[in-house]
Amino acid sequence: MMNLLVTGGCGFIGSNFIRLVLQKHAGIRLVNLDKLTYAGNPTNLTDLETNSRYRFVQGDICDAPLVEQLLAEEQIDTIVHFAAESHVDRSITGPSAFIQTNILGTFVLLEAARKAWGGDGRSPITDHRFLHVSTDEVYGSLGDSGLFTEDTSYDPRSPYSASKASSDHLVSAYHHTYGLPTLITNCSNNYGPYQFPEKLIPLIINNALSGKTLPVYGDGKNVRDWLYVVDHCEAILQVLEKGRLGETYNVGGNNEKQNIEVVQTICDILDEEAPKLPGGQPRRSLITFVKDRPGHDRRYAIDAGKIKEELGWEPSVTFEEGMRKTVGWYLDQSEWIAGVVDGSYQDYYERMYAGR
């Protein structure tokens, strides 16, 4: 029996990971610690509330006494750390929360694990795991060619990516200094079910369904490597189970696309699958180019050769298949989208979790 603490489990990737773990591994007891900020939606996991192997705790990873208490009372031997402020635009207008959560919060978790698991630097800890989920944005921006590898120098360009780079370095330091059994994954752009609609793909889906403007930064030719979220979660499990302690593994989708290509693909799928817009106008006509954001990295692309060679993982969902799955999910989840957009899912939180 593994006693697993997942931080940020009510968010996009965390909620998909929790579902996958509970479906695939009957021998895991899972505790989900989430502060329930604007992007942490408890309705993502409503159906798991009666599962005897699942416990939700509303709390902040920066709350050291709470984290230490959870590790002790639940006898936590494995931590998968998703909790983070993650939206680049928000980090530009309000960086303080990113420093607090992404750097200080990671430090609190590392210290709690070190104390609970006996990390003294004299001998490595091998029977526990601390997996830190990070991003390819720590590497900066690529030109027209080349790929990020695990040996690429860090060159963060936004407060968000700088905060994640800092947390990566802390995790690595705790392995080398205290023998903490850490693992780091740096992933490319995720998409799929339960993603908060400030991010590109759900934002475009929601706006296109409503006939609203589809904003695209700059010339739309910024390139990202798109990774279907369930593929990412499978990769995390592989790293958790088979990864070499102290190592970093890049996780990519092998799907480089310009932002404008992503938006056009969504428009075309919705024109096929959703009711037509008034007058039958194609949804591509809603695309509007807007002023680029400060420090907008031109291209990210992941070399995921290490995780394939060492652990046998590679993405199984093509971009076209993943986009159809994603658009289909949002078409079937109109109530979920409405609850997130108007904030009414917070009413659910007040009813179900306030005071716990």
End-to-end CA distance of the chain: 26
Q: Are 330 and 173 in contact (CB under 8 A)?
A: no
Return the pLDDT at 335: 77
**Mapping DSSP to helix (H, G, I), strand (E, B) and coil, where does residue 249 land?**
strand
- Residue 137 among the catalytic residues: yes
**Catalytic member of 85, 136, 168, 231:** 136
Residues 6+ apart with CB under 8 A from 268: 283, 284
Q: Are 18 and 9 in contact (CB under 8 A)?
A: yes
- Residue 194 among the catalytic residues: no
Query: Which CATH number fits the domain that encloses residue 171?
Result: 3.40.50.720
**Does residue 284 sit within a domain?**
no
**Catalytic member of 34, 60, 137, 234:** 137
**Does residue 58 sit within a domain?**
yes
- pLDDT tens digits, the chain, 356 residues: what are they? 799 999 999 999 999 999 999 999 999 999 999 999 888 888 899 899 899 999 999 999 999 999 999 999 999 999 999 999 988 989 999 999 999 999 999 999 999 999 999 977 777 788 999 999 999 999 999 988 899 999 999 999 999 999 999 999 999 999 999 999 999 999 999 999 999 888 899 999 999 999 999 999 999 999 999 999 999 999 999 999 999 999 999 999 999 999 999 999 999 999 999 999 999 999 999 999 999 988 898 999 999 999 999 999 999 999 999 999 999 999 998 777 777 766 654 454 444 434 33
* φ, ψ dihedrals at 33, nearest 5°: -105, 115
- For residues 165, 170, 172, 173, the Cα torsion angle rounded to the nearest 10 degrees is 140
Q: And the tokens for 260?
A: 């404008």
Q: Domain tally for the chain? A: 1
What is the identity of the amino acid at 77?
Answer: D
Return the pLDDT at 349: 42
**Does residue 209 sit within a domain?**
no
Return the pLDDT at 239: 98
Q: And the tokens for 60?
A: 């902040």
Q: Are 268 and 232 in contact (CB under 8 A)?
A: no
**Does residue 335 sit within a domain?**
no
**Does residue 355 sit within a domain?**
no
**Does residue 289 sit within a domain?**
no
**Does residue 68 sit within a domain?**
yes
- Residue 136 among the catalytic residues: yes
Return the pLDDT at 347: 53
**Does residue 324 sit within a domain?**
no
Return the pLDDT at 353: 39
Distance CA 231, CA 308 (A): 13
Structural domain of 52: 2-194+225-252+295-317
**Catalytic member of 60, 85, 139, 160:** 160
Q: And the tokens for 127?
A: 């029977």
This prediction has a pTM of 0.92
Return the pLDDT at 75: 97
Residue with tokens 């630097």: 121
